[in-house]
C-alpha cells in the first residue's frame, strides 16, 4: 500500500504546485530586501494570469501571452512603486488596494472583452513539457527511469525557469554589487544614500522585478497549467508566497525551498484524500493540512524571523 | 508646497483606484434595468428574477433561471424582467423594486439570497417569491423554495462511468476498474452529487473503486487539475467533477493527459468548455429552467405553490443527464439502456437514490 502512496507523481505534483508560489515568493524577497513590503503579489499574479490568456487568445501566440503576463505584472507593480516610493504611502494600504483593483479590473475587462463573467475560453494549445522521453517497459531499470523522467524531465518551461531564477537570484543577491546595494537599501537606506546609492531608483527596480516574477507566476497558472482564466483563480497563492518568503528568511533559495514544502504539503493532502478508506478522518481535515502546516512552520519551527531593518519604511531625503 | 503636491498626488491615485474598482463592481453583466420583456397586451401577468453577483452570462445558475423565464414568456405570453445584483447589498433593493413594480412571482437566484428574500417577502405579502437552491425554514404562504435532487443526476452519471470503465469503446478506458470524483467544497449539493455518483456506479459495477477528492474551493483551477492528475495516476479513466471553476482544471487534466474521459456538471458542459468533444462523455445537469417554468406556470394558473420547499428530481425533469454529443456513436447501447432503465426506475419510485454516502 505504501508503495502506491509514494509515487513519482506525488513529487512531480509538489514541484508543479510549488512553481507559482516560488516565483512570487522570490519576487517578494527581492522587493522586501529593497525595503518595500509587497502584499500585492496576489493581484500581480492575477493580472498576469488574465492578460496572458487575453493576449494568447487574441494573437494565438503563447510566447506573446507570457510576455503580456510579465508586462501586466510590471505595470501593476509600477503603481505600487509610485505609491510607496515616490508618494511614500503606507505600503500595506497600497498593496491591499492593488489586490482589490486587480480583482475588479480583471472582472470588469472580462465583461468588456468577452461579454460574460466567469471564465474565458480556453487557449488552443497550452505550453507542453520541455522534454518528451519515452517511458514504459518492465524491470528495475524501467521503473527507475520512470521515476527520473517523472521527477526531473516531466515539466513545462516556466517550472525549470523558476529553479534557474532561484539560483541566479540567490547568487546575485549575495555575490554581486547589485545584491549588496539592494540589501543596503532595505537595511539602512540613509547609509546607502550617503555613499551615493540612488535609493528611490533601486527600490523602483526591485518592485518592478517582483511584478515581473509575479506576472510570470500567473502565466504558469494559465498558460502552462490550465489554459483558461477564471475569476480569482490565483486563489490566495500570493499570500502563501509571502509566507514562503518569510519562512525562506528573505533569501531566493530559501523562498524556493519553502514554496516546495508548501507544494509538497498540498500534494500530500491530495494523496491522503485518496487513502480515505484507510485513514478514517473527515475530508475537511485533509483540506486544512497545508494551512495548518504554514502556521506550525511559521510559529513553531523557525524561531524569530527578522526581516530587513528598513522594510515598510518610506525613505525621505533630508 | 512640495508636501501638498504629494498629498494631492496620493489622493488622486486613491481616487483613480477607487473609480476603477467601483467600475469593476458595477458593470457586471447587463445594464441593471434591462426590460427584456415586451408588453403583451392580453396579459398583465409579470414574472421576474434577481441574479446573484455572477449575473447573466455565467453559463450556469443565472442563465438557466433566465432561460426558464424566457420559456414562460414565449409559451405563456407573460411579461418578464431581470435585475442584476452587483453586490450583496443589491439583493434587497432589487427584490423590492420588482415587487413594487407588480412582478409576481419574483425569483431570487442562489443560496446567498436566503436572508434577503425572507425579509422582503414578509414586508410585501402580496408578492410571491421563489428561491433557487434555497431551503426555507417555515416559509410563509408567498414564498417557495426550489431545490434539486442532485443525487439522481449523479446516479445516472455514476451508471455511465461505472459501465464505461469496464467497456472499451475508447482507447483511454483501461482495465483497472477505477473511476474518480472531484468535488469543490464538501457542502450538501456537492455531496449529494457524490453520493449519487458512487451509488450509481456500484449499482452496475459492484467491484468498481470510486476515489473522491475535494479541492476545498470552487475557484482554483490549478488545484482541480492536480486532483484530476492524481486520480488518473491511480488508474481512474472516467472522472466526474462537481466543482465549479475548479472542475475546468480537472477537465484540462483529462484532456491533456489523454488518459481519462470527463463528466461535466450542472449545465451541459459540452456547450460551455473549449474543444470538449474528444473528452466530455456527458454531463449531470440541473434543470433550473424547468423548475422556474413550472412554478411560473402554476402561478399563472392561480395556484402558486407557496408555503413549502419544492424538490425537483428526475420525475419532474428537475435534474437529468446531458446528451453524449460526439460520443453518441461510440457509447454502447448497453450503457444507454442502463441509463434509461435507471431513469424509469427512479421516476417510478422503485429505486431511491441516497443523499449521503453509506
Radius of gyration of chain B (CA): 23
Q: How far apart are alpha carbons B156 and B96 in whole angstroms? A: 40
* Distance spanning both ends of chain A, measured CA to CA: 68
- Crossing angle of helices A199-219 and A62-81, in 10° steps, is 140
Mean pLDDT of A93-100: 95
Does the pLDDT value for residue B17 go beyond 60?
A: no
Q: A178-184 long-range CB contacts below 8 Å, 24 or more apart?
A: A182/A30, A182/A33, A182/A34, A182/A206, A183/A33, A183/A308
The residue whose grid cell reads 488518473 is: B232
Preferred mutation among A90, A116, A291 to probe B, highest tally of B CBs within 10 A: A116
3-class DSSP state of A119: strand
Mean pLDDT of B199-228: 94
Q: How far apart are alpha carbons B194 and B212 in whole angstroms? A: 8
Task: Give the percent of chain B with pLDDT over 70.
Answer: 87
HEC sequence for chain B: CHHHHHHHHHHHHHHHHHHHHHHHHHCCCCCCCECCCCCCCCCCCEEEEECCCCCCCCCCHHHHHHHHHHHHHHHHCCEEEEECCCCCCHHHHHHHHHHHCCCCCEEEECHHHHHHHHHHHHHCCCCCEEEECCCCCCCCCCEEEEEECHHHHHHHHHHHHHHHCCCCCCCCCCCCCEEEEEECCCCHHHHHHHHHHHHHHHHHCCCCEEEEEECCCCCCHHHHHHHHHHHHHCCEEEEEEECCCHHHHHHHHHHHHCCCEEEEEECCHHHCCCCCCCCEEEEEEECHHHHHHHHHHHHHCCCCCCCEEEEECHHHCCEEECCCHHHCCCCCHHHHHHHHHHHHHHHHCCCCCCCCCC
Q: How far apart are alpha carbons A214 and A295 in whole angstroms? A: 23
Q: What fold, for B150-286+328-348?
A: Rossmann fold (3.40.50)
Question: Would you state the pLDDT for residue B314?
Answer: 94
Domain B46-148+288-316 and domain B150-286+328-348, same fold? Reply is yes
Chains A, B: CB pairs < 8 Å:
147
Does the pLDDT value for residue B161 go beyond 90?
A: yes
Cell numbers placing B11: 489622493
A116 contacts B58? CB cut-off 8 A: yes
Of A5-14, A290-299, B176-185, B230-239, the one with minimum mean pLDDT is A290-299
Q: How far apart are alpha carbons B267 and B343 in whole angstroms? A: 18
For A36-65, write each residue's pLDDT tens digit: 999 999 999 999 999 999 999 999 999 999
Distances (CA, A) of B96 to A59, A181, B26, B86, B145: 46, 61, 19, 15, 18
Q: How far apart are alpha carbons A167 and A225 in whole angstroms? A: 23
Phi and psi at residue B305, in whole multiples of 5°?
Answer: -80, 55
Indicate the residue of B9, B10, B24 with minimum beta-carbon distance to A108: B24
Q: What order do you get walking across the sheet with B308-312 strand by strand?
A: B79-83, B46-50, B106-109, B129-132, B143-148, B308-312
Burial, A278: exposed, middle or buried (Cβ in 10 Å; 0-12, 13-18, 19+)?
Answer: exposed
Q: How far apart are alpha carbons B343 and B351 in whole angstroms? A: 9
ipTM of the modeled complex: 0.91
Q: Is A202 a domain residue?
A: yes
Cell numbers placing B7: 498629498
Query: Taking the CB of residue A75, how many other CB atoms lie within 10 A of it?
Result: 15
Indicate the residue of B21, B59, B60 with minimum beta-carbon distance to A104: B21
Q: Give A292's contacts (C-beta < 8 A, 6+ positions apart).
A: none
CATH number at residue A177: 1.10.3470
B17 contacts A122? CB cut-off 8 A: no
| Domain extent at residue A257 | 2-129+138-301
Q: What order do you get walking across the sheet with B209-214 strand by strand?
A: B209-214, B178-183, B236-242, B261-266, B280-286, B319-321
Structural domain spans, chain B: 46-148+288-316, 150-286+328-348
Give B35's pLDDT tier (boundaries 50, 70, 90): very low
Indicate the residue of B54, B230, B275 with minimum beta-carbon distance to A118: B54
For A11-27, write each residue's pLDDT tens digit: 999 999 999 999 999 99
Question: Would you state the pLDDT for residue B25?
Answer: 43
3-class DSSP state of A230: strand
Query: Taking the CB of residue A195, how many other CB atoms lie within 10 A of it?
Result: 8
Q: Are B134 and B174 in contact (CB under 8 A)?
A: no
Q: Is A208 a domain residue?
A: yes
Indicate the residue of A98, A124, A228 with minimum beta-carbon distance to B221: A228
Question: Would you state the pLDDT for residue B14?
Answer: 56
Selection from B266, B276, B259 nearest residue B245 by Cα: B266
Q: Are B272 and B326 in contact (CB under 8 A)?
A: no
Residue-wise burial string across A214-247, b where 16 or more C-beta atoms lie within 10 A, e elsewhere: bbbbbbbbbbbbbbbbbbbbbbebbbbbbbbbbb
**CA–CA min distance A116, chain B (Å):** 5
Q: Give B241's contacts (C-beta < 8 A, 6+ positions apart).
A: B181, B182, B183, B224, B228, B247, B250, B251, B262, B263, B264, B265
Q: How far apart are alpha carbons A99 and A287 in whole angstroms? A: 25
Question: Would you state the pLDDT for residue A97?
Answer: 96
Output DSSP code: residue A7: -
**The dihedral sign for the CA sequence B57, A122, A51, A25:** positive
Of A265-269, B33-37, B180-184, the one with minimum mean pLDDT is B33-37
Closest A-chain CA to B215: A287
Q: How far apart are alpha carbons A215 and B39 in whole angstroms? A: 50
- The answer to whether the pTM exceeds 0.90 is no
**CA–CA min distance A175, chain B (Å):** 36
Cell numbers placing A269: 493532502
Q: How far apart are alpha carbons A307 and B280 in whole angstroms? A: 50
**CA–CA min distance B198, chain A (Å):** 14
Does the pLDDT value for residue B1 go beyond 60?
A: no
B14 contacts A117? CB cut-off 8 A: no
A117 contacts B234? CB cut-off 8 A: no
Domain count, chain A: 1
Instruction: Judge if the upstream peptide bond of residue B105 is cis by omega within 30 degrees of 0.
Output: yes
Question: Mean pLDDT across chain B, nearest whole number?
Answer: 87
Q: What is the CATH number of domain B46-148+288-316?
A: 3.40.50.2300
Indicate the residue of B27, B212, B248 with minimum beta-carbon distance to A119: B248
**CA–CA min distance B247, chain A (Å):** 11
Q: C-alpha A166: how far from its chain's center?
A: 11
Closest A-chain CA to B225: A226
A4 contacts B220? CB cut-off 8 A: no
For A181-222, write each residue's pLDDT tens digit: 999 999 999 999 999 999 999 999 999 999 999 999 999 999
Closest B-chain CA to A220: B222
Output DSSP code: residue A116: S
Selection from A7, A9, A1 nearest residue A278 by Cα: A1
Amino acid at each position: 500500500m505504501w508503495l502506491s502512496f509514494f509515487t513519482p507523481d506525488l513529487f512531480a505534483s509538489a514541484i508543479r504546485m510549488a512553481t507559482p508560489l516560488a516565483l512570487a515568493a522570490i519576487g517578494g524577497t527581492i522587493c522586501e530586501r529593497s525595503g518595500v513590503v509587497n502584499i500585492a503579489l496576489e493581484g500581480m499574479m492575477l493580472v498576469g494570469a488574465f492578460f496572458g490568456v487575453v493576449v494568447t487568445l487574441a494573437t494565438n501566440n503563447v510566447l506573446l501571452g507570457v510576455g503580456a503576463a510579465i508586462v501586466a505584472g510590471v505595470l501593476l507593480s509600477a503603481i505600487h512603486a509610485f505609491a510607496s516610493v515616490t508618494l511614500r504611502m503606507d505600503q500595506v494600504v497600497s498593496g491591499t488596494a492593488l489586490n482589490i483593483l486587480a480583482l475588479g479590473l480583471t472582472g470588469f475587462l472580462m465583461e468588456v472583452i468577452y461579454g460574460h463573467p466567469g471564465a474565458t475560453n480556453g487557449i488552443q494549445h497550452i505550453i507542453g513539457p520541455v522534454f518528451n522521453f519515452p517511458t514504459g517497459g518492465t524491470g528495475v531499470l524501467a521503473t527507475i527511469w520512470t521515476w527520473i523522467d517523472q521527477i526531473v524531465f516531466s515539466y513545462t518551461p516556466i517550472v525549470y525557469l523558476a529553479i534557474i531564477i532561484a539560483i541566479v537570484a540567490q547568487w546575485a543577491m549575495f555575490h554581486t554589487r547589485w545584491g549588496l546595494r539592494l540589501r543596503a537599501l532595505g537595511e539602512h537606506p540613509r547609509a546607502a544614500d550617503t555613499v551615493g546609492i540612488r535609493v528611490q531608483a533601486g527600490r523602483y527596480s526591485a518592485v518592478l522585478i517582483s511584478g515581473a516574477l509575479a506576472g510570470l507566476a500567473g502565466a504558469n497558472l494559465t498558460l502552462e497549467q490550465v489554459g483558461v482564466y477564471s475569476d480569482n483563480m490565483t486563489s490566495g497563492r500570493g499570500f502563501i508566497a509571502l509566507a514562503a518568503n518569510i519562512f525562506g528568511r528573505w533569501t531566493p533559495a530559501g523562498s524556493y525551498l519553502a514554496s516546495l514544502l508548501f507544494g509538497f504539503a498540498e500534494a500530500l493532502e491530495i494523496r491522503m484524500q485518496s487513502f480515505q478508506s484507510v485513514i478514517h478522518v473527515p475530508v475537511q481535515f485533509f483540506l486544512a493540512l497545508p494551512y495548518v502546516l504554514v502556521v506550525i512552520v511559521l510559529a513553531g519551527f523557525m524561531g524569530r524571523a527578522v526581516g530587513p531593518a528598513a522594510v515598510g519604511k518610506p525613505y525621505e531625503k533630508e | 508646497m512640495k508636501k501638498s503636491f504629494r498629498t494631492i498626488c496620493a489622493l488622486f491615485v486613491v481616487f483613480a483606484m477607487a473609480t476603477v474598482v467601483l467600475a469593476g463592481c458595477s458593470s457586471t453583466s447587463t445594464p441593471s434595468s434591462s426590460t427584456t420583456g415586451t408588453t403583451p397586451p392580453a396579459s398583465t401577468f409579470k414574472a421576474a428574477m434577481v441574479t446573484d453577483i455572477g449575473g447573466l452570462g455565467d453559463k450556469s445558475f443565472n442563465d438557466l433561471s433566465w432561460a426558464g423565464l424566457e420559456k414562460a414568456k414565449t409559451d405563456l405570453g407573460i411579461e418578464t424582467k431581470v435585475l442584476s445584483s452587483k453586490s450583496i447589498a443589491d439583493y434587497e433593493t432589487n427584490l423590492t423594486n420588482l415587487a413594487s413594480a407588480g412582478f409576481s412571482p419574483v425569483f431570487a437566484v442562489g443560496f446567498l439570497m436566503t436572508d434577503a428574500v425572507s425579509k422582503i417577502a414578509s414586508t410585501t405579502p402580496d408578492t410571491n417569491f421563489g428561491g433557487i437552491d434555497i431551503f426555507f425554514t417555515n416559509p410563509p404562504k408567498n414564498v417557495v423554495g426550489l431545490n434539486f435532487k442532485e443525487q439522481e443526476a449523479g446516479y445516472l452519471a455514476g451508471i455511465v462511468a461505472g459501465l464505461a470503465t469496464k467497456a472499451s469503446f475508447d482507447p483511454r478506458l483501461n482495465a483497472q476498474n477505477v473511476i474518480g470524483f472531484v468535488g469543490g467544497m464538501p457542502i450538501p449539493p456537492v455531496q449529494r452529487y457524490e453520493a449519487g455518483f458512487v451509488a450509481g456506479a456500484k449499482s452496475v459495477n459492484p467491484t468498481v473503486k470510486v476515489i473522491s477528492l475535494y479541492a476545498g474551493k470552487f475557484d482554483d483551477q490549478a488545484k482541480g487539475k492536480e486532483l484530476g492528475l492524481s486520480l488518473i495516476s491511480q488508474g481512474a479513466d472516467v472522472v466526474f467533477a462537481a466543482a465549479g471553476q475548479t472542475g475546468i482544471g480537472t477537465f484540462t487534466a483529462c484532456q491533456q493527459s489523454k488518459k481519462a474521459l470527463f463528466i461535466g456538471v450542472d449545465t451541459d458542459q459540452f456547450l460551455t468548455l473549449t474543444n470538449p468533444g474528444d473528452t466530455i462523455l456527458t454531463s449531470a445537469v440541473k434543470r433550473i429552467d424547468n423548475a422556474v417554468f413550472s412554478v411560473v406556470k402554476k402561478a399563472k394558473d392561480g395556484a402558486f405553490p407557496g408555503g413549502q420547499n419544492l424538490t425537483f428530481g428526475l420525475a419532474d425533469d428537475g435534474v437529468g443527464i446531458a446528451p453524449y454529443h460526439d460520443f453518441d456513436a461510440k457509447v454502447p447501447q448497453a450503457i444507454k439502456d442502463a441509463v434509461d432503465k435507471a431513469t424509469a426506475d427512479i421516476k417510478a419510485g422503485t429505486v431511491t437514490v441516497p443523499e449521503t454516502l453509506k
